[in-house]
Structure 1
Amino acid sequence: MLSDDALTMPELNYMLVGERLDAGSSLYDGVWDNIAPLSAFVYMAVDFFFGRSQLAYQIIALLLVAFQCLIFNRLLLLNKAYNENTYVPGLIYGLLMSFSFDFLTLTPVLMGTTFLLLALNNIFSHIEFRAKQDEMILNIGLFIGIAYLFYLPNITFGIAALLIFTFFTGTVARRYLLMLYGFMLPMLLAASYFLMGGRLKAFVYNFLNPLLDYEVEQYMSITGVFVLFSIPLVFLVLAFVRMGQRARFTNYQVRLTQVMFVWIVFSLAFIFISGTLSPNIFAIFVPPVAFFLSHYFLLIRKKWMAELAFFAFFVSVILFNLGIYFGFFISEKYLGFENYLVKGDDQWRNKRVLVLDHNLEPYLNAYPATPFLNWQLSEELFRNPEYYDNLTILHKGLVDDLPDVIIDRHDVMPYVLERLPKVHSRYETSGDNIYYLRK
């Protein structure tokens, strides 16, 4: 599975951002994209060391998933979440992270989840009466703050932490303020960094504004989501039923289960505000689902029944992951990945290209030109060139980095070029909304 046979649209976008930043462009004004700043820095570093390599993304992701399995199992052991010391949660976590092939690639969701797990460890320790140090409260806010600088929708878990503190702990007001300070500090530092570089407005427009004003990038249908994750969903329901019938928890363990249920609820809010409907977004559910499924397997009293249930779950991972990837399982026909996977496009090889569309396939073997990488963010500029500010930005972006080819899939360039005669004179069109730089 470690190959470049199934490059996804989001992966290609991450590679293009990393490539532009590594080439010297500045984030948000030199590269128009809504990617979070820490994720952009990681992709720039990956491009510096490995270039445009999907294999590097996959190997780093495997290492990160292994680390998450370790810290997830460790935090449950240290906080005595189960009646026995076991490594089952780490095993289930790893299997759930293998459920879809695009879980095992370097995404902002995956990187941000690492810091959410670190915050969860401190939350569990805080719920237990013996661990109420102020630095632990501060760290909860800091970890969640770092998580949303990897992927902005993680900001919802800051609200989740406040609700958990309100309903499940006896935290004093001073500690709420301390956690809120830790939560806001990463954003304040990031805003200060862009302010000093004269890019605060670009930071707000590219990174913060899309949280409230976005178009949904739908790479799969709602039916496809339920088909793909039907088996974990069934096991989750069985876990809830089993826990309601058989579980004998301490009050502390009951609170931990309530915390993980809150995670599930806020994961739904996370999906809603993410603006993307793709399989890898649902990796945010892995920690709470792994928590409840571990309870399910451990509460089965007969060992052979537990082994049989686990075997069924393990086989489902193979069928849904490898079966969909290699096309030998029936669910493949219900999962339309036509808009999700990048098809081979060799037409513009080694050209400097500007694509005015959400579909980034022409960039596969080409290089992005101009800052206008994200069509959602730059569409308003191209559709409204009559405004002076928009025209100024367009002129500077095009003149400073003239593309060899402009692929205009929304027929907006004629209105732009008639207001930029010097740029217009440099291009000729073939009549199919594709503009070529004159030699």
Structure 2
Amino acid sequence: MGLLILFFIVSLPVFLFSPGPTWQELNSFIVGEKINQGLRPYVELIDSTPLLTQWMYGAFNWISGQNITLRHSLALLILFFQAGYIGLVFINRKAYTETTYIPSVLFCLLCCVSFDVISITGTLLASGFLLLAVNSIFREIEFREPNDSSLVKSGVYLGLASLAVFSYVIFFFAAILILAFFTRSSLRRQFLFVIGFSLPHALLLSYYYLLDQQSDLLNYFYKANLFADERVFQNTKTLLILSSVPIAYFAISFFSLNRATRLTNYQSQLLQAMFIWLLAGVVHLFFTRSLRPQSLLPLFPPLSFLLTHFLLSINRKRFAEIHIWVFTIGILLTSYLVRNNFFFEAGYSGMIVKESSPTLVDKRILILGDDYSPYMKNQLATGFSEWAIYKKVFEEPDYYENILIVNNQFALEKPEVIIDPNNLFAAFFRHLPELEKQYHKKGNVYYINEVNGAN
């Protein structure tokens, strides 16, 4: 309870001074609504969001709708349980010379580096699976005895994490290194781990294969996540400023641990394993398709682990308490300064959804472009959710497959308004003449004819 109260107090600015919904949260609104309407991912809903994240968006859209405060509250509870789980894992695995919940406290403090961390996204779900995998890997290092079920579970957890955030595949390779260096993993057992990781993907591929829809899954999930352009919501300068205090304390911890801490061989191996995990988290930042402060979340467990070792190595508790206070104030201060644009070219302007035109309200619309802001006050019609994925459909109107996709999408639901800044929609009239009869154009916007009504 004390940890929950502490976490709530330090995260109060998220609730009191939230700058508004982010683009990632807007995407969760859109995808969650279409999932609740029954659209099939990658077949009817054209979006590269991983399957488990789409399901999660659907669940939270059913629970909270678009209530930002309620969603932040639920995200806070999820992060709190993750913090508690981290503390229990490190205690049960005897990672330190004494029993302590300092890692849980540090994890909560790290989650306050930015308001964006405390939000419902796929990163939040994937980080939970990562923690389950860390627990299983720690068990492998601790007991050093063949436990095939534990090894397969580790792979399954990492496979599920990659079905929540695809770029978390990187942690699969980090886990292979940890198992190779610190456990007695034969080639057979490494193969079992690979099978565990592949199992969720194999089940997903098998399901779409049985429905004869595997091409949609390959194009809109695997290919899209591997080759689609990265969307940078925050520049490197902003992320470095937000991370400056944790980076400083990591540097202090790194140079002081070897000479100030006496660890058993097992604890030393755990420390090295978490350092590999930390490096994997840094590498992940270069491959994520959505770079923002919440992308730092996989770094928080290993950072909490390493900083706790540093704090426990301080002989005088008063000095350790001073470090915790400096750490807390530093994180909250940098977060406040960035949120209020104190630093040049550092802030949240690229993350926040700007107000759209007030002329469109409560309409079922389709946007043929990458400005999704009108969706804040309207609903997406059809399943064209992610412009980076479906823009090729509208840019190549002479391909039969694209004509068929557009026809099928408009059969699902006809938009009342189509925003077409690049004049792409008219090219389909030659192949789908009934659409030309159903819409009229004003400027770069198509409106459905009142005679036809909206389906």
TMscore range, shorter length: over 0.9
Matched, 1:13 2:24: no
Q: What does residue range 11-410 of structure 1 map to in structure 2 within 5 Å?
A: 11-325=25-339, 327=340, 330-331=342-343, 333-345=344-356, 346-410=358-422
Q: Distance in 2 between matches of 1:190 and 1:60?
A: 28
Distance, in Å, in 1 between the alignment partners of 2:120 and 2:146 is: 34
| Greater Cα shift, 348-357 or 192-201 | 192-201
CA contact (8 A) 2:234 2:292 kept: yes
Mapped contact 1:112–1:148 kept (Cα < 8 A): yes
Structure 1 residue 290 displacement after superposition: 1.1
| Distance verdict in 2 for CA 1:130–1:215, change over 3 Å | closer
Compute the displacement of 1:341 (Å).
Answer: 0.5
In 1, the alpha carbon distance for the partners of 2:141 and 2:48 equals: 35
Secondary structure of 1:353's counterpart equals strand
Q: Counterpart amino acid of 2:386?
A: N
> For each residue in 1:192-232, what CA deviation from the matched residue of structure 2 results, as whole angstroms up to 9, or x when unmatched?
22233343221111111123211111112111111121111
SS of residue in 2 equivalent to 1:343: coil
2:445 is matched with 434
Q: Structure 1: which 5+ runs fail to align?
A: none
Which runs of structure 1 show a deviation greater than 4 angstroms over 4 or more consecutive aligned residues?
Answer: 322-325
* SS of match in other structure, 2:446: strand
Structure 1 residue 357: Cα displacement: 2.0
| Mean CA deviation greater in 25-34 or 123-132 | 123-132
Query: Partners in 2 of 1:309 and 1:410 — Cα distance?
Result: 55
Inter-CA distance 135–65: structure 2 relative to 1 (3 Å threshold): same
> Residues 294 and 219 (structure 1 numbering): CA distance in 2 closer, same or farther, change over 3 Å?
same
What is the CA–CA distance in structure 2 between the aligned matches of 1:179 and 1:297, rounded to whole Å? 35
Q: Distance in 1 between matches of 2:144 and 2:242?
A: 42
For residues 381-427 of structure 1, give each alpha carbon's deviation from its aligned partner in whole angstroms, at most 9, with x where no partner exists. Answer: 11111111111111221243211111123332233334432212222
What letter is aligned with 2:360?
Answer: W
- For residues 418 and 321 of structure 1, the distance between their equivalents in structure 2, rounded to whole angstroms, comes to 53
The question of whether the paired residues in 1 share the 8 Å contact of 2:285 and 2:295 is answered with yes
Amino acid of the structure 1 residue aligned with 2:305: F
1:260 CA drift (Å): 1.0
Q: Which moved more, 1:299-308 or 1:249-258?
A: 299-308
SS of corresponding position for 1:7: coil
124-133 or 163-172, which deviates more: 124-133
CA distance in 2, matches of 1:397, 1:130: 54
Indicate if the aligned counterparts of 1:211 and 1:273 stay in contact, CA closer than 8 A.
no
In the alignment, is the contact (CA less than 8 A) between 2:130 and 2:161 conserved in 1?
A: yes
Give percent identity, aligned residues only: 30
Please give the TM-score of this superposition, normalised by the length of structure 1.
0.94
Compute the displacement of 1:8 (Å).
0.4
Counterpart CA distance in 2 for 1:48 and 1:193 is 25
2:436 to 417, 424, 437: 424
Distance 2:203 2:412 in 1: 30
AA aligned to 2:434 is K
Counterpart residue type for residue 432 of structure 2: L
Q: 1:395 to 1:123 in 2, by over 3 A?
A: same
Q: Kindly provide the amino acid, as one letter, of the partner of residue 440 in structure 2.
A: E
Task: Write the deviation string for residues 300-349 of structure 1: whole angstroms up to 9, x where unpaired.
Answer: 22323222221111112222334544x3x734x54232231112333321
Deviation at 1:92, TM superposition (A): 0.3
Partner deviation per Cα, 1:323-379 (whole Å, 9 max, x = no partner)? 544x3x734x54232231112333321101111222211100100011111001101
Give 3-state SS (helix, strand or coil) of 2:354's partner. coil
For the 8 Å contact 2:47–2:386, the answer to whether it is kept is yes
SS of the residue corresponding to residue 419 of structure 2 reads: strand
Deviation readout 1:22-47 (Å, 9 max, x if unpaired):
11211112211111111111111222
- How many equivalent residue pairs? 435
- Opposite residue 15 of structure 2, the aligned amino acid is L
Deviation at 1:49, TM superposition (A): 2.8
Q: Distance in 2 between matches of 1:429 and 1:380?
A: 22
* C-alpha deviation, 1:59, in angstroms: 2.1
Q: SS of the residue aligned with 1:128?
A: helix
Secondary structure of the structure 1 residue equivalent to 2:227: coil
- Matching residue's letter, 2:73: I
Instruction: Find the aligned partners of 2:162 and 2:234 in 1 and give their Cα distance.
Output: 24
Write out per-residue CA displacement over residues 152-188 of structure 1, whole angstroms, 9 at most, x where no aligned residue. 1111111111111112222122211221121111111
1:131 Cα deviation from its structure 2 partner: 4.8
Task: Kindly indicate whether the alpha-carbon contact (under 8 Å) linking 1:239 and 1:296 is maintained by their aligned counterparts in 2.
Answer: yes
**Aligned-partner Cα distance in 1 for 2:367–2:54:** 20
SS at match of 1:406: strand
Contact 1:138 1:181 in 2 (8 A): yes
- Partners of 1:244 and 1:211 in 2: CA distance: 40
Q: CA deviation at 1:140?
A: 0.8
Could you tell me which amino acid in structure 2 is paired with residue 337 of structure 1? Answer: Y
Q: Distance in 2 between matches of 1:321 and 1:416?
A: 48
What's the secondary structure of 2:143's corresponding residue? Answer: coil
Deviates more, 1:336-345 or 1:39-48: 336-345
Are the counterparts in 2 of residues 19 and 52 from structure 1 also a CA contact under 8 Å? Answer: no
TM-score (norm 2): 0.91
Give RMSD over aligned pairs.
1.8
What is the CA–CA distance in structure 2 between the aligned matches of 1:64 and 1:294, rounded to whole Å? 22
